[in-house]
Amino acid sequence: MSDPGVTEQLRAAAALLLQPPDERTSSILQSASGERLDPGEARQDFYDTFCIPRSGRYIPPYRHVMLGARELRDYWYFPPPRYNGGDGLVSWYETIGFDVSRLNADVLLTGPNRPLDHLGYLLAFLSTVARSTDENSELFELGSTFAEEFLSEWPRRYVSLLSRANSVYLHLVADALNEALDRVNEYFPPQAIKNVEDMQGETSGVVAD
Write the pLDDT tens digit of every residue in 115-168: 999 999 999 999 999 999 877 888 999 999 999 999 999 999 999 999 999 999
Each residue's pLDDT tens digit, 165-205: 999 999 999 999 999 999 999 999 986 444 455 555 555 55
Q: What is the DSSP letter of 116?
A: T
Domain count, the chain: 1
pLDDT at 58: 96
**175-203 CB burial, b ≥16 within 10 A, e <16:** bbbbebbebbeebbeeeeeeeeeebbeeb
- Structural Rg of the chain based on CA atoms: 17
CATH number of the domain encompassing residue 27 = 1.10.3480
Q: Is 146 contained in some domain?
A: yes
DSSP secondary structure, 75-111, as one string: EEE-PPP-TTTTGGGHHHHHHTT--GGGS---GGG-S
pLDDT (tens digit per residue) in 68-89? 999 988 889 999 999 999 999 9
Question: What are the DSSP E strand ranges found in the chain?
Answer: 70-72, 75-77
Residue 207 included in any domain? no
Prediction pTM value = 0.89
pLDDT at 192: 43
Q: Does 209 reside within a domain?
A: no
- What range defines the domain where residue 161 resides? 4-202
Counting Cα atoms < 13 Å in the Cβ hemisphere of 61 gives: 27
**CA angle, residues 107, 112, 115, in degrees to nearest 5:** 90
Domain presence at residue 58: yes
Q: Is residue 160 part of a domain?
A: yes
Nearest Cα residue to 122 out of 2, 6, 13: 13
- Predicted confidence at residue 194, as pLDDT, reads 47
Q: Please report whether residue 208 resides in a domain.
A: no
Residues of the chain above pLDDT 70, percent: 90
Distance CA 173, CA 88 (A): 27
Once rounded to an integer, what is the mean pLDDT over residues 91-100? 96
